[in-house]
Amino acid sequence: MFEKIRPLADRVLVKRNPVEERTASGIIIPDAAKEKAQMGSVIAVGPGRKDATGNTITLSVKEGDIVYFGKYAGTEAGQDFLIIKEDELLGVIEKN
Specify the pLDDT at position 6: 86
β-strand partners of 44: 13
Q: How far apart are CA 31 and CA 35, in angstroms?
A: 9
φ and ψ at 43, to 5 degrees?
Answer: -95, -40
Q: How far apart are CA 71 and CA 5, in angstroms?
A: 23
Q: Put the strands of the sheet holding 11-16 in their side by side order.
A: 75-76, 81-85, 11-16, 39-45, 66-69, 89-93
Q: Is the pLDDT of residue 73 over 70?
A: yes
**Domain 2-21+29-93 in CATH 3.90.950.20:** no
Reported as a single tens digit per residue, the pLDDT across 9-61 is: 999 999 988 766 666 777 766 666 566 778 999 999 999 999 999 899 999 99
Q: Where are the domains of the chain?
A: 2-21+29-93
Specify the pLDDT at position 32: 60
